Amino acid sequence: MKIAVLDWYTVNISGDISTAPLEELGDVKIIPLTSPEETAANIGDAEIVLCNKVMITREVIDSCPNLKYIGLFATGYNNIDTAYAAEKNITVCNAGSYSTNAVAQQTFAYILDYCNKIRDYDIAVKNGEWEKFPSFSYFPIPTAELAGKTLSIVGYGSIGRQVAKIAEAFNMNIVVSTRTRPENCPYEVTDIMTAVRKADILTFHCPLTEKTKGIINARLLSEMKPTAILINTSRGAVVNEKDLADALSQGKIAAAYLDVLEKEPMSPDTPLKNVRNCIITPHTSWAAFETRKRLVGIVCDNIKAWQNGTPINKVN
């Protein structure tokens, strides 16, 4: 079978992930990135297409009559016209829960960065400030313990649960707000505004839906403690970026850590670009080597299951 991989750079920029597992499954064409106007041509006569963010529209599907299977290097599949694919008897499979540990880990990297001020103290030491100080310990920049702080988690899927588990190890108070009340949840479960008001740290791990789009807005931010920090590793569009920039600039919240933005790559005119106490990473929380290797393994397992007539992780 012919397999077209449309945006391999979204999984493997530096060449550290082997294509060998894919090559065992068929005749593979690896394309680093695909623009919208190139999509149909890059798929060509392939039966299987693999992608991360490339749009597979009705028009693309109509232009590729050999297409039988669409596999995603991602959990989200809003870039695929799944309904039309089903009409055409094209199976669509995603990759779920591959990044749980990595995203939870980066969430706590943000939290520890804020509370321990390691970057700030490293700069101070390299600037010679410790050398000039008469006492053995130099601590002009306040740090904080996590024990006893309240972590409010919005979204309680696999990542939200893992974040809660780590927070428990730090002896934090955990509050959960989620769309459906989880069974046997050992933590306080409440509505989102109560969770927001209680939070010393507010972290979002929810899907992007009509209800969550722009949910981090001026009203929600006004309910946060001025000493609280916001973390978003879910989807960029859950944040109203102008409202967040205003809240940070006006000192209404202490800091924000963002791994996702509404437009990616980041637009040079995003209102958050140069805002004080806004730390932005370029959508890296999922991208640990082990995570990407696991992702490719899941994608390959999905193809094998489909080839054997027992598709898994099917979304249409």
- Catalytic residue check, 131: no
Residues whose CB is less than 8 angstroms from the CB of residue 130 and which lie 6 or more positions away in sequence, other chains included = 124, 138
Token representation of residue 246 = 């205003």
Q: What strands lie across the sheet with 255-258, from one edge to the other?
A: 188-189, 173-177, 150-154, 201-204, 229-232, 255-258, 278-280
Q: Strand 48-51 and strand 229-232: pairing?
A: unpaired
- The residue annotated as part of the active site, out of 179, 188, 197, 283, is 283
Instruction: Find where tokens 């960065």 sit.
Output: 113
Q: How many Cα neighbours within 13 Å face the side chain of 109? A: 16
Predicted local confidence at residue 239, as pLDDT: 98
Nearest CA to 64 out of 75, 74, 52, 54 is that of: 54
- The residue annotated as part of the active site, out of 161, 235, 292, 294, is 235
Q: How many Cα neighbours within 13 Å face the side chain of 293? A: 7
> Which class does domain 2-96+289-307 fall in?
alpha beta
Q: pLDDT tens, position by position, for the chain (316 residues)?
A: 999 999 999 999 999 999 999 999 999 999 999 999 999 999 999 999 999 999 999 999 999 999 999 999 999 899 999 999 999 999 999 998 899 999 999 999 999 999 999 999 999 999 999 999 999 999 999 999 999 999 999 999 999 999 999 999 999 999 999 999 999 999 999 999 999 999 999 999 999 999 999 999 999 999 999 999 999 999 999 999 999 999 999 999 999 999 999 999 999 999 999 998 999 999 999 999 999 999 999 999 999 999 999 999 999 9
Domains 2-96+289-307 and 100-280 share a fold: yes
Q: What are phi and psi of 96, to 5 degrees?
A: -100, 150
Nearest CA to 305 out of 79, 25, 17 is that of: 25
**Omega into 142 within 30° of 0, i.e. cis?**
no
Predicted local confidence at residue 153, as pLDDT: 98
- Catalytic residue check, 183: no
Q: What are phi and psi of 87, to 5 degrees?
A: -55, -35
Predicted local confidence at residue 53, as pLDDT: 96
pTM over 0.85: yes
Domain ranges of the chain: 2-96+289-307, 100-280
- The residue annotated as part of the active site, out of 24, 129, 145, 264, is 264
Instruction: Find where tokens 């008469």 sit.
Output: 134
Predicted local confidence at residue 96, as pLDDT: 87
- Catalytic residue check, 219: no
Query: Which CATH number does 100-280 carry?
Result: 3.40.50.720
Predicted local confidence at residue 236, as pLDDT: 96
CB 30 within 8 A of CB 54: no
